[in-house]
Structure 1
Amino acid sequence: MDLNLRKAILENVTDNDKSQLEATIVDAIQSGEEKMLPGLGVLFELIWQQSSQTEQQEMLDALEQGVKQAH
């Protein structure tokens, strides 16, 4: 991903509180638009970087289950 895109996405959410961040995530998922995927990816990157190894393992477990259920 282009670093300018990452920077733009981060600048768009820098001052958002929890409820605004949640609304952004929910809206992106519900819209199902491909153009929202880079933003979700940047947000996930932040979550991943701020998480402990235990939390990362929990996310991987949830992701694995989600992938299995999607098929």
Structure 2
Amino acid sequence: MGLNLRNAIIHNVSGNNQDQLKDTIVDAIQSGEEKMLPGLGVLFEVFWQHADENEKAMILETLEESLK
């Protein structure tokens, strides 16, 4: 049986409030474990799919500046 990782991650955080989502993100970053990267990627994908053009431009600018 194949596990759809994307759907599993979305299922695990669906219904979470902002504090819970923030805790999930902060914990994943602070742990430094590479196994957490797919989850952060799925959260970013959800953000990107629902962001307007101004939000996308803001995150791209932030990423560009942060990666210099």
Q: TM-score, length-normalised on structure 2?
A: 0.92
Residue 32 (structure 1) aligns with: 32
Q: Structure 2: which 5+ runs fail to align?
A: none
| Deviation by residue 1:8-54 (Cα, 9 ceiling, x = unmatched) | 00000012111000000000001111000000000000111111111
Q: CA separation in 2, counterparts of 1:52 and 1:25?
A: 21
Q: Report the number of matched residues.
A: 67
Q: TM-score, length-normalised on structure 1?
A: 0.89
Q: Structure 1: which 5+ runs fail to align?
A: none
3-state DSSP of counterpart to 1:63: helix
- Following superposition, which runs of at least 4 residues in structure 1 exceed 3 angstroms of deviation? none
Q: CA separation in 2, counterparts of 1:3 and 1:48?
A: 23
Q: What is the identity, as a one-letter code, of the residue corresponding to 1:7?
A: N
Taking every aligned residue pair, what percent have the same amino acid on both sides?
60
Structure 1 residues 50 and 3 mapped into 2: Cα distance closer, same or farther (>3 Å)?
A: farther
